[in-house]
A and B are shown apart, each in its own frame.
Chain A
C-alpha cells in the first residue's frame, strides 16, 4: 500500500498546470524582449517596454482609474452586498425565493448584454458622468460575487448565536458588528478579493461605459493593440498580473488566505 498518487494522475496534473502557466510564461517572455515587435522567445533582455507603459500617459491614467474603480466599486458592493446577504439568510423563510436570484442576475445575463443595458440606461438615458457610470457598472458587476460568497459564509452561521447575544443585552445593530460580522470574516475577505480582481480585469462592461478621456486599463490595452504591435501590451499584461498577485499577497499578509483552502 502506498500513499503516493498514481503516475498517470501526476502526469495529468502536470499537463493541466503546464496548460495554465504556459501562456503566462509566453507573455512574461514577450514583455522582456528587446525587439520593437511582439516575439517569443524574447530576443535580448530589456525592461524598456515596462518603462514605456509609464511614458504613455493613457496607460498611467487608466491604471489609476482601474484601481480607483475596482477599490471603490468593491467597497460599494460590500456595503450593499453584506446587508443583502444577511437579510437573505436571516429571513430565508419569510422572503420570497426569487429575491436571492435577483442578486445573481448580473452574472447570468451575458456580460455584453449587461454592459449594453448599462450604456442605454446610464450614459445615454440619463447622462451620468463617465466615471460615475463606470463605478455603478462595476459595483453591479461584482455585487453577485459579494452576495454569493458572503451568503455561503452565512449559510453555516447559526443565527441562535445572534439571539443569544441579543438576549444578553446587546442591541441588534451592535450584535451584527460584534457577533455576526466577526464570524463571517473569511467570507468578507474572499468576497473582497474576488470582487476586486473581477472589476480590475473586466472588459465587457467597461467597453460600453468608458468614454472620452476616461478608460480602464484592459480597455486601454485593447486600444493599444489595435494601433501598435510593440511589446508594451505584453509588459502591461504582466503588470496587470502583478497587480492581481499583489492584492492576493497583501490580503495574505494582513488577513491570511488559509480559509481559501478550507
Chain B
C-alpha cells in the first residue's frame, strides 16, 4: 500500500516566471519528508505539482513506479490535508470522512463503518453527526486528517496543516499526526515554514529557497552540518566568519581572520579548504574576559536576556557577531572581550557557500 515518491528534474513556471528549477527528490516508502522554506520558496508549488493541480514544465513525477505527471488530480489517489481544513460545509462530519469512499463506489453501510472507525481513531466518533462549522480548529483538522486517511492513500500530503492553530495545540497535533503516520506507514510529504515543526516531525527535511532544493537530509544533519551558507543561516548559524589557512602541520591547519588566528584539527572538522567560512550559533562563541584567551577580540554592544543566557551584539574586525554569555556574570556594553569558538558547535563551509 505504501509507496515511494520520486520527483525527477521538475521545473515549473507561472507564466514566464520560473518558480521551481530542476528539483529532484526521492521520498522512500513510509517516510515522512518535510518541504521547508519561507513563502515563495516553491514548497507549496511542489505539493500542488504532486497533487496534480499544477503541471510541471519539464520533469517526471512517479509514485510507486506509476507515472503521475500527466494524470488528472482526481485519479492520483493522494490524501491531502489543507491549512484551512477545507471541510465540506454542507456535509456532516461523518459524510465528510465518507466522501472519498463514496467516490470509490463503496456501499453506504461499509462506508459508514469505515468512516466511523476512522473517526474513532482520531477521537471524534462522538461528533460524527455535527456540521463542520460547529467544530474547533483542532477538531476540524482531525476530521480533515480522517477524511484523507480513510481512503488509504499510497501518499499523504500536508499543506501547512497546523498554521491556523494556536501554539499549544500545534505541538499536540504534530505529535498526533506523526503517530498516525507512523502506525499507518503512509509515505508523506509535509509542507511547512516552521523549522521546529519540520525537524520534530520528519524523517528527512528538504530545505528550499527560490525554487531550488538547498539541502535534503535528516534533521540532525541539517542542524549540525548545514551544507551551505543559506541553510546555515536558516538553522541559526548567525555567525559566519571568513578564514584563510596560513599554515598546515599534518592534521592541524592554522587559519586567520582579521584580528585572530585559530588552530583547527581536521579530525574534528573534516577536510579544511584553503579558504573557508567558520559558522557558529550564538551559543558556539564563548564570551571570555580573559585577555590571554585565544579568540576574536570584540567590543560588546547591546545585551538582551534570553532566559537561559544573556545575548550580546558584538563588534569585531571580522564584522558584526552575536554571542551568548553566562547568566552569572552579566557584562556591560563597551566591555572588551574575546570570543572563543567552541569546535563542537562550529561547522566549516567552503568560501563559495557550498561545503
Q: Which residues of A contact B (CB under 8 A)?
A: 158, 160-161, 163-172, 175, 179, 182-183
Q: How far is the CA of A158 from the CA of B89 in the complex (A)?
A: 10
Most chain B CB neighbours (cut-off 10 Å) among A169, A172, A179: A169
By beta carbon, the residue of chain A nearest B96 is A164
Q: Would A160 and B90 be within 8 Å (CB), given that A166-B74, A168-B99 are in contact? A: no
Q: Could you tell me if B74 and A160 are in contact, using CB atoms closer than 8 angstroms?
A: no
B53 within 8 A of A: yes
In the bound complex, residues from chain A placing their C-beta under 8 Å from that of B51 are 163, 167
In the bound complex, residues from chain A placing their C-beta under 8 Å from that of B53 are 163, 166
Q: Would A165 and B88 be within 8 Å (CB), given that A160-B82, A170-B103 are in contact? A: yes
Q: Which residues of B contact A (CB under 8 A)?
A: 51, 53, 72-80, 82-84, 86-90, 99-100, 103-104, 144, 147-148, 151
Q: How far is the CA of A183 from the CA of B133 in the complex (A)?
A: 13
- B254 shortest CB reach to chain A, Å: 57
Q: Could you tell me if B99 and A165 are in contact, using CB atoms closer than 8 angstroms?
A: yes
Q: Could you tell me if A183 and B79 are in contact, using CB atoms closer than 8 angstroms?
A: no
Q: Could you tell me if B73 and A161 are in contact, using CB atoms closer than 8 angstroms?
A: no
Q: Give the 6 A-B CB pairs with smallest separation, nearest first.
A: A169-B103, A168-B100, A164-B86, A160-B86, A167-B80, A182-B90
Q: How far is the CA of A158 from the CA of B53 in the complex (A)?
A: 15
Q: How far is the CA of A182 from the CA of B89 in the complex (A)?
A: 9
Q: How far is the CA of A168 from the CA of B95 in the complex (A)?
A: 13
In the bound complex, residues from chain B placing their C-beta under 8 Å from that of A164 are 80, 82, 86-88, 144, 147
- Told that A158-B86, A164-B144, A171-B74 touch, could you supply 19 new A-B pairs with CB distance under 8 A? A158-B84, A161-B89, A163-B82, A164-B80, A164-B82, A164-B86, A164-B88, A166-B73, A167-B79, A167-B80, A167-B148, A168-B74, A168-B100, A168-B103, A168-B151, A169-B100, A169-B151, A170-B74, A183-B89
> Which of B90, B100, B104, B147 has a CB less than 8 Å from the CB of A183?
B90
> Which of A158, A160, A167, A179 has a CB less than 8 Å from the CB of B73?
A167
Q: How far is the CA of A170 from the CA of B78 in the complex (A)?
A: 12
By beta carbon, the residue of chain B nearest A164 is B86
- B341 shortest CB reach to chain A, Å: 47
Q: How far is the CA of A161 from the CA of B133 in the complex (A)?
A: 14
